[in-house]
Homo-oligomer: A and B are copies of this chain.
Amino acid sequence: MTQFSVTDTNRVRRVPKRAAYDKETVYAIVDAALICHVGMVGEDGRPTVIPTIHARDGDNLLLHGASTSRLMNHTGAGHDLCVTITHVDGLVLARSVFHHSMNYRSAVLYGKGSLIEDPAAKMAALAIFTEKLIPGRWDDARQPNATEMKATHIVSIPIDLAAAKVRTGGPVDDEPDYDLDVWAGVIPMETVFGELIADGRLKNGVTPPDYVRSFVAKGE
């Protein structure tokens, strides 16, 4: 199990027992999420946080977007980035207000990005994005043409440092509070898919392919 180094940048200080620095834990959190929040420092020295879709290629986080976008141009230019991914898994109701909490899985990644320029590598990255969104889609949808490739930037961010933080389980109350007549427990939360909404201009006879049906059936 490969570990990230632990430095002043990525060390989890609050509730360190919830921290993990191994790639297996961090990457599972990254891969289970559709979107991430990208933190950047602008030329004026101020922070900006932009949500965007991500994918992962080994130890590299991939972002993509329009070649005209500020997000792509900033993240592709080698500036320091912090990319954070969070799943909320439940509300934790304790007997005391103070010990209310949430169950969650979060990953905080640090690195600097660069644009992928090689056309074959760019195309391979787009395939990774599409297959992450829904496995089977890349071979079914119309793949990008030269104009679309030109309009798209892919940024690759080698993940230099990272940390995961995970809370699971029920509430932990102060010992005297266990005598209170207050209900305590967890309200689990999860993200689910709804019924497919077919586009209004589908050609006659086109139905959802098996890979879409099975993807929706098994949930996120």
Residues of A at the B interface (CB closer than 8 Å) are: 9, 13-14, 34-35, 37-41, 45-51, 53, 65-66, 68-71, 80-84, 86, 88, 90-91, 93-98, 100, 102, 104, 106, 108, 110, 126, 130, 133-134, 137-138, 140-145, 148, 151-152, 170-171, 177-203, 205-209, 212, 215-216, 220
Contact = CB atoms under 8 A, between A and B. Distances in A.
A51 B84 contact: yes
Given A41-B47, A82-B47, A142-B180, A170 B199 contact: yes
Contacts of A140: 182-183
B185 A203 contact: no
A51 B196 CA distance: 31
Contacts of A130: 97, 100
Contact residues of A: prevailing secondary structure: mixed
A167 B170 CA distance: 36
Q: How many copies does the complex hold?
A: 2
Contact of A93 (B143, B183, B212): B212
Given A40-B47, A82-B47, A141-B96, A187 B199 contact: no
A199 to B, nearest CB: 4
Given A98-B148, A188-B193, A206-B183, A37 B14 contact: no
